[in-house]
Structure 1
Amino acid sequence: MGEENVEHIKDVIQKAKRKKTSSVWEHFKEVNLKSGTKTWECLHCHKNYAMISSGSTSHLIRHLGDCLVYKKLIASQKKLNLQPTKSMVDAKLSGPLLVNPNVQYDHARQREAIAHWIMMHEHLFSIVEEEGFIFMMKCCNISYEKISRKTVKNDCVTIYETEKKKLKSTLRDVSKICLTTDLWKSQNQKIEYMVLTGHFIDADWILQKRILSFVHVPPPRRGVDIVDAIFKCLKNWGIESKVFSVSMDNATYNDRCLKDLKVLLSRHVKLVLDGKLFHVRCCAHILNLLVQDGLGRIVTIIEKIRESVKFINYSEARLRTFSQVIQQLKLGGKKLVLDCLTRWNSTYDMLSIAIQFKEVFLRFQDREPSYTYIPEADEWEKVEKVAKLLDVFNVASNIISGSEYPTANLYLVEVEEYLNEPTHKPKDNGHMPFCALEWWKLNSGKYRVLSRMAADILAIPISIVASESTFSAGGRVIDSYRASLHPNTVEALICGGDWLRILHGIRNKPKVEHVPIVIPLLL
């Protein structure tokens, strides 16, 4: 074997050695002295230290402890010279997370901030072990210490328990609380969860919404099991005597459930009006039933449009052809969307956009003979009529599903318009919209008893969809990542994430419920 081959093999073996993992190698590099001796050179003070055949690094570690240049660098990097900003997050940061200029780096505080970030934005625990994340944190401060997914999970649970105590304290001062509840399923496992959300108006006349419970309901899921789970949650929060109303969807199954719950709660406190306001039926589900009935009359046409979108999205070539026709007709830059079968509002989006491209579909068929899903002219007319009707329902659904303003009094606007029409009173379109909460805030001292009643009534949500929009899993399904966790951890992440987003003034962005089909622009 030639000498060159031997050297090549040595190089290969050297490269195949296990990568050095000690943090000390971040501060030393290998150098060749003029004498031919290989040594380790400190990156900070540039002193050289011998290479020990056993691979020991104790002398290098000792040097780091005495290196004056390195000590000076650490001292300077422990000062976080952050410029203040005016963002909502910065304005909301308080307590242990408040970062002031010239404050020494605190790794415990950093861990807490990371846990807040993970819970607010639903990141995986393992993200803290990714090399890119560690590199980013080291760039911010060389003193950053790596943490494991187990550590950050424990931090998240600790924060959940801390925030839960704070919320419990807040609820002690609430006289009445309204509830919304719904059931969720996991994506890959047959695990069912019950979400319970509390709605109340605080002392400043601000409508508040907090997820109180997200618990696993083991099979068999009977009405009595749901009642027991709800009552256990209420006892845990100490609000079993403060429940004013419960909003649920309109399934017959829930009628029996709410009846049993009302009887149970009435043993602890006298319900308002003997419970006549206790069970609130979800208006969003009522609208959904009406819409689904209408869509059922054109289900064949909807299927044609759905398959058309799928066909065009099948290949880049078809998308390019479709885009070419759009540009020839000088139409706007809309994007085709594929609906979610369980969400009628996404079907409405798909239809309303497809209508704008009905001429494009016709010309696209001339260029793609295998395209056979195009609706007939009379079918397009039916779609246009249904889309106009759906537009009204879509606006109504968005209004009644609001969670940042009262929905129980929305009918008053319709009453006002109805009264204006019989009396021929013109509408005053120039006045500011009436805010019930702001009015009662200004007049609560004048009408003390009525104001307490108003606070209870205005807190009633007429739709449970608002509580569903808290989650970004899409629909009423838990994603595969959270489904793999222990139910207690799932509850800590979902409830804690909701509370922290409110604390920091961050809106959760729900995942898109329909798939956009991006049409490429031709160069």
Structure 2
Amino acid sequence: MVVTCYFMDSNWLLQKRILNFCNVPPPHFGIVITKALRNSFIEWGILDKVFTITVDNASANAAAIDILRDDIELRGSLPIGGLMFHVRCCAHITNLLVQARLSEIGDIIDSVRQGIKYIVVSESRLNVFSDIAKRLDLGCNKLILDVLTRWNSIYLMLKTAIRFKEVFPRYHRVEQAFLWVISPEQWDKVENVNQVLAVFNYVTNVVSGNDYPTSNLFLPEVWRMKEMVDIKAADKNEYIRLMAAKMSDKFDKYWGESNMVMALAAVLDPRYKMKLIRFCFLIIYPLDVGGDNIKTVLNTLKELFELCVAAHNASIIQQQASAEVIATSTTVASVTEKVSGGRSRFRQHVRSNDIIRPIKTDLDVYLEEDVFIYDSENGEDSDANFDALGWWKSNALKYRILSKMARDVLPVPISTVASESSFSTGGRVIEPHRASLSIDTAQMLLCGSDWKMVEVELPNLP
């Protein structure tokens, strides 16, 4: 099991560190996973600092998070009742939605796959196929074979195969042993399905970055998936309606209630604020449920902000107490000196007034202002180039308390893809010639290389 920590440093830069790469022997029950996680947190001294935990959708993981949430809640260190503690991996949920759809044309996908395998396994067959494609003026694009563990590779395989749909029957006439010819009706099904998969492929690319994206980027894509599913639920083709029904069931199972981290992160994106929530929740959810979820997000936002206010005031009081101790020590040590210390007195005055609640809070001002319109200077896609963390860094003085909340929420990973890439690295460390490494040695190699790459500013390749 790999345990990865995500946090924001003092320069508003996202940081990721592997804390543990440990052996968890079976059976992998929830209590076993909980014990391994708790031991990692205790070893690093962060048990009372864990804000959220992102895991995939295995039932054992869900059970482990429930147990751990109860333990931390008893310690009194779980904000807003643990409402943001458990984060489901967005990439895994997207995969489940797609697999539900692909099952309806599984036989067609298998025919395309077997046909491509037959062609690409031999250079002479591939040359014949390419010659036919050139005569049809289809260019020299290569056939793509999917990887069974990555659904979007199926999309790319089908997308490329559609381009060559006129080549396959002509290839069959030349190569009689080629048996995987798809009918025009079947190609129509593939094209209809691929139109929907294009949206899901885009979402997958967003959530699957190894250098994980900030959590504010997901809600604008999630509602697009739900919108597409709802549109296809009224499609004229029965097989499309059946697919949409299966996907809708999966969507309601995992996102039937608002994902609080995803929602709050979207609000803390100055381009969206509550406007995106009010817009897309009425699309994602039924009218009555959508309205209730909007209220829940707003109430949770205010509750979390109040916690930040309390922490801010406690910090000021502690600073004042420390300043008084220093001032007293200075007076005792310098009895003969009669210096008024005007600047010090003024700073204490500012801090004491800072505790008094203003009529409008940071949150009130932020939500009342219009959304931020970002225009890229170089003319490229503005959304792709916008840096939410950079915006908060520039506005940290204006929103002194709300910016602290943004530091907690925006770094939360909505997918486990970046962490799972550590297993690819692990496969290079524990390979056939070094299969007898001890557990502690493997852990030191994985964790040490991860931290060292950050120290020397090298890219942490998957």
Q: Does the 8 Å contact 2:118/2:178 carry over to 1?
A: yes
Aligned residue pairs total 314
1:363–1:409 CA distance, 2 compared to 1 (3 A): closer
Secondary structure of 1:358's match? coil
Please give the alpha-carbon distance, in whole angstroms, between the structure 1 residues aligned to 2:66 and 2:214.
25
1:381 match: 188
Between structures 1 and 2, the one with greater strand share: 1
Deviation of the 1:447 alpha carbon: 2.4
2:120 match: 313
2:404 match: 452
Please give the alpha-carbon distance, in whole angstroms, between the structure 1 residues aligned to 2:431 and 2:157.
24
Q: Percent identity?
A: 44
Secondary structure of 1:340's match? coil
Superposed, 1:402-481 pairs within 5 Å as 402=209, 403-408=211-216, 410-411=218-219, 412=266, 430-431=375-376, 432-433=382-383, 434-472=386-424, 480=432
1:394 match: 201
2:445 corresponds to 1:493: yes
Superposed, 1:58-97 pairs within 5 Å as none
Secondary structure of 2:51's match? strand
2:61 match: 254
2:189 corresponds to 1:237: no
Q: Does the 8 Å contact 2:8/2:411 carry over to 1?
A: yes
Deviation of the 1:471 alpha carbon: 4.5
Q: Which amino acid aligns with 2:142?
A: K
Secondary structure of 2:46's match? coil
- After superposition, give the CA deviation of every residue in 1:115-160 in whole Å (9 maximum; x if it has no partner): xxxxxxxxxxxxxxxxxxxxxxxxxxxxxxxxxxxxxxxxxxxxxx
Deviation of the 1:407 alpha carbon: 1.7
1:214 match: 21
Q: Does the 8 Å contact 1:338/1:350 carry over to 2?
A: yes
Provide TM-score, normalisation by structure 1.
0.55
Superposed, 1:48-447 pairs within 5 Å as 194-402=1-209, 403-408=211-216, 410-411=218-219, 412=266, 430-431=375-376, 432-433=382-383, 434-447=386-399
- After superposition, give the CA deviation of every residue in 1:170-227 in whole Å (9 maximum; x if it has no partner): xxxxxxxxxxxxxxxxxxxxxxxx1111111111111111111111111222211111
1:305–1:356 CA distance, 2 compared to 1 (3 A): same
Q: RMSD between aligned alpha carbons?
A: 3.0
1:220–1:379 CA distance, 2 compared to 1 (3 A): same
1:224–1:483 CA distance, 2 compared to 1 (3 A): farther
- After superposition, give the CA deviation of every residue in 1:403-433 in whole Å (9 maximum; x if it has no partner): 34312454336775687899xx9x9784544
Please give the alpha-carbon distance, in whole angstroms, between the structure 1 residues aligned to 2:22 and 2:396.
37
Deviation of the 1:341 alpha carbon: 1.4
Please give the alpha-carbon distance, in whole angstroms, between the structure 1 residues aligned to 2:146 and 2:216.
30
2:327 match: none
Q: Which amino acid aligns with 1:449?
A: I
1:349–1:409 CA distance, 2 compared to 1 (3 A): closer
Q: Does the 8 Å contact 2:30/2:62 carry over to 1?
A: no
1:391–1:470 CA distance, 2 compared to 1 (3 A): farther
Provide TM-score, normalisation by structure 2.
0.62
Q: Which amino acid aligns with 2:403?
A: S
Please give the alpha-carbon distance, in whole angstroms, between the structure 2 residues aligned to 1:440 and 1:233.
31
Q: Which amino acid aligns with 1:250?
A: N
